[in-house]
Amino acid sequence: MSTVRPSTTAASPSTARAWPPVWRALPVGGQGAGIGLVLGGLLSQEFGAAVATSLFPRAGAAGIVTLRLVLSAVLLLAVCRPRVRGHQRVDWAVIVGFGAALAGMNFLFYQSIARIPLGAAVTFEVLGPLVLSVVLARRAASWLWAGLALAGVALLSRGGLDRLDPAGVAFALGAAALWAAYILMSARAGARFPRTDGLALAMAVAAAMSLPVGVVDAGGALLNPVTLGLGAVVAILSSALPYTLELFSLRRVTPSVFGVVSTLAPVVAVAAGYLVLGQVLTLVDIGAITLVVAATAGAVLTARR
């Protein structure tokens, strides 16, 4: 899943699928604590994805992502209480686009982790923000980072993509493209809606879009009390808790530091996949993921400078 950043995140790729640009109004200080909060958000996000994967036998990937989006929307609407009056038609068009990107990104990501290891899926997914940051940076040096990332991807998929599962890789790359779109739409929504109103409304749109697919795919399994309870845990781990930790972290660190620390998402995903799902990657796979992490961090630093 998943699991979006402020407008500066176009040059600062990271994991969780998150807040509008509220950081501009927040003070910066306590950088060590802020970095700890970013790491806490990553841990929550990726372990939430691992827990979601373990629930696929209960309701399928589409059913679980629907459950996550619906419960997250209910939670965000209750906490944020966004204002729905006084907005223009173009504002609502942005929210619909934002929600569509959010729903599509999460659906594709969950389909991916149903087929390939979590660490590999996240590694492919971060290519979306990476490419976006390279394009927006408009610096020749940024393309060197892109080349390093491609080397990592080639190493990860050595011997043919069927080693991983072509469909799983394709879904992850689709999620990467939608993550880049999500970043751009997040920036637009943040410019048109106060506080976290844009995110809450977009989450509601994403939930509404996902509901028919989830109902058709999972049916009555979505109403199973155990599945509902575990789905709530996934919603908290993958959405509510990471968003909250990121909000507080952005009070203490600059967006560039936030972006660099967030590039550790594939590493955290590998750990979550191993500890929760028993997914083991080879040393070559871990080396490939390290190349992508290094490339993403370099692209963030180059873009910020």
Give pLDDT, residue 142. 67
Whole-number CA gyration radius for the chain: 18
φ, ψ (nearest 5 deg) of residue 129 = -60, -35
For residue 1, pLDDT over 60 is answered with: no
Per-residue confidence band for 51, with pLDDT thresholds at 50, 70 and 90? very high
Name the pLDDT band for 304 (thresholds 50, 70, 90): low
Q: Over the chain, what is the mean pLDDT?
A: 80
Tokens linked to 208: 């509404």
Q: How many helices (H) and strands (E) does the chain have?
A: 13, 0
Spell out the residues 6+ positions from residue 38 whose beta carbon is closer than 8 angstroms to its own: 245, 246, 249, 253, 258, 261, 262
Q: CB-based contacts of 160: which residues, under 8 Å, 6+ apart?
A: none
Say if residue 8's pLDDT is above 70.
no
A 10 A CB-CB count for 247 gives 17
Taking residues 93-99, what's their average pLDDT?
93
Would you give the end-to-end CA distance of the chain in angstroms?
A: 30
Of 126, 98, 121, residue with least CA distance to 52: 121
Identify whether the C-beta of residue 39 lies closer than 8 Å to the C-beta of residue 275. no
The reported pTM is 0.81
Lowest-confidence segment of 89-93, 143-147, 175-179, 236-240 by average pLDDT: 143-147
Nearest to 11 by CA among 123, 139, 125: 139
Give the per-residue pLDDT at 44.
92
Could you give the angle at the alpha carbon of 112 between the alpha carbons of 108 and 114, nearest 5°? 120
d(CA 192, CA 215): 32
d(CA 7, CA 252): 18
pLDDT tens-digit map of 199-239 = 889 999 999 999 999 998 888 888 889 988 998 999 899 88
Provide mean pLDDT across the span 117-131: 86
CA distances from 204 to 77, 179, 207, 239 (A): 8, 18, 5, 13
Query: How many CA atoms within 13 Å lie on the side-chain side of 269?
Result: 33
* pLDDT tens profile 126-154: 888 777 777 776 666 667 777 777 787 77
Cα(276)–Cα(54) distance, integer angstroms: 8
Q: Which of 39-53, 102-116, 128-142, 232-246 has the lowest mean pLDDT?
A: 128-142
CA 32 to CA 46: how far, in whole Å? 21
